[in-house]
Structure 1
């Protein structure tokens, strides 16, 4: 699946203007989270989604005015429970949208989006800062900046530089938010590019997992010690396939941080145990190990005898995946990736 920034650059290179819809705020049962984006083309076809249904339809309808006038605007959409029921939605909610007119002739705006795409392709973390128009007001040009941990793009602005200084104090933990400074509203959108799924083991289940993680825009790396399994013929869509000599020194081949997801699906108990012993020493966001409860107990008991603690083992999701009574490789892959999504999207303090 193409990243939305990649699609934007393709449209810009093809000299196509478009409308970029971004959810600024949501209340009630609106289906997508704040920050969700959707591109609306001149023919009113879309790339991405802000939730489908009535909200998306209203955004597409309003985009005709954005195209006609060449302006950007902020608009709130609300739906009563009765209206939602009539349209097949579960219940009412409200969404505040930024509908941004992106003109390929606007050289300043094009530079911002091209720089954002280049930073994303390099894997750098950055934030896009946008000055938001007042609701129901239309503006012809929208002010936008990029702030990374080491660089700044956009016209010099003292207020925005103040925002950047604050962001850099704790950059990797920034979240999307609106800030009000000197009577002006700014949207801060972090683009943190280091969410990586490491699939340790390159068997049939791994193939199916990689297909789904690719669709969900996870950067996916597959690792095995057998080149007949870990190769581009079997894993065409992943970012990287690594063949290593053994699993014993796994951490020499991968960089694990608190945005890493580790899926352990090797071909045997001993390999699983070796891998788990290493990744337990990292701050990975997710560690999952495939296998039955009996296998899990064997691996856990071995690690406990080596000095690991019960607290260490609480970090592990095993048996892996959301319980859906999966049997086939495809079903197992769905259950595992569902668990990744739950960890990614769920509240930090939510109990498993």
Structure 2
């Protein structure tokens, strides 16, 4: 699905109010992680998911009151059994959810959400700070701030400046937390910007781009042929880049430790050119289309060029899980499944 902040900003531009439900904390085997958000629109349709089933039904029901009063709600849900106030979900565990109203005519709120969307699109890490009052039942734009390692956005506030200073002392290791010391503040880090970069804009790339966007990856398509790399062919992709060449890609596209690289160019020589560049990055995933025979030949070429066996072990080739895929659609599904497996931290034999 699209990034949740993209959806928020579309609604705000259309002057539509909505409710945001955020998982503040979780315990046990609850289905979604802390920080997961869901939008509830005025007609009670949902954008995003915080776990499905009865949990979302109960949050939607509570949203009706939030729309009416504009007051936030913090609610604990137990997802274990049918007793008492528990919810009948087989996963087990529990979640604490913040449910808050967002007013499209609140200029401060609009500004903060726009900035969050911009930072995410740029791939810049930031922390969102929300004051959840103990004695006032409302959250407005003046109760939200964004800090990066070097910048600060929002109205000036002494306590928040103190929190920001603390965050910056250990910026890369902040976890989502509802602080209840001097006041109550929700601290939400936005560190992981998972990007899929599809290098090569052929038929398989078209199928992959649609799936990765649905899976929540920021999807970029790159090729050196304008007739292939264009928005008409890749309508769902976040970026489509028609470059003059496939040289010096690291200077042309964002590649970091949360990048997933899918190499599906028009031939072996192009694959090799791109692969050699990608192995010099810290991309989380580097996959190359091709057979086992091509893989062995490619690995030998890389070793002869000075790459190490450890470098070669980073490559996923043949790309995709082994499901005997043949058509572009099936190959795209197998690649998407492999991305999910890597995303979830599951190691497995690539041989």
Fold similarity call, TM over 0.5: yes
Q: Does structure 1 conserve the Cα–Cα contact (< 8 Å) formed by 2:100 and 2:139?
A: no
Q: Does structure 1 conserve the Cα–Cα contact (< 8 Å) formed by 2:198 and 2:221?
A: yes
For 2:152, the equivalent position in structure 1 comes to 152
Whole-angstrom CA distance in 1 between matches of 2:178 and 2:38: 23
Whole-angstrom CA distance in 2 between matches of 1:245 and 1:215: 29
Deviation at 1:194, TM superposition (A): 4.7
Aligned 1:311-350 pairs, distance under 5 A: 311-346=310-345
Q: Does structure 1 conserve the Cα–Cα contact (< 8 Å) formed by 2:201 and 2:229?
A: yes
Deviation at 1:192, TM superposition (A): 4.3
Deviation at 1:174, TM superposition (A): 4.3
Whole-angstrom CA distance in 2 between matches of 1:2 and 1:108: 24
1:113/1:222 CA distance change after superposition, 3 Å: closer
SS at match of 1:34: coil
Mean Cα deviation higher: 240-249 or 334-343: 240-249
Give structure 1 stretches of 5+ with no counterpart.
none
For 1:25, the equivalent position in structure 2 comes to 25
Whole-angstrom CA distance in 2 between matches of 1:292 and 1:309: 21
1:311/1:2 CA distance change after superposition, 3 Å: closer
For 1:201, the equivalent position in structure 2 comes to 200
Aligned 1:178-217 pairs, distance under 5 A: 178=177, 180=179, 182-192=181-191, 194-217=193-216
For 1:56, the equivalent position in structure 2 comes to 56
Whole-angstrom CA distance in 1 between matches of 2:115 and 2:169: 22
Aligned 1:1-352 pairs, distance under 5 A: 1-81=1-81, 89-132=89-132, 139-141=137-139, 143-169=143-169, 171=171, 173-178=172-177, 180=179, 182-192=181-191, 194-346=193-345, 351-352=347-348
Q: RMSD over aligned Cα, in angstroms?
A: 2.7
1:108/1:277 CA distance change after superposition, 3 Å: closer
1:212/1:317 CA distance change after superposition, 3 Å: same
Deviation at 1:6, TM superposition (A): 2.9
Deviation at 1:317, TM superposition (A): 1.7
Whole-angstrom CA distance in 2 between matches of 1:219 and 1:154: 26
Whole-angstrom CA distance in 2 between matches of 1:21 and 1:45: 13
Whole-angstrom CA distance in 2 between matches of 1:275 and 1:240: 19
The number of equivalent residue pairs is 344
1:279/1:115 CA distance change after superposition, 3 Å: closer
1:75/1:291 CA distance change after superposition, 3 Å: same
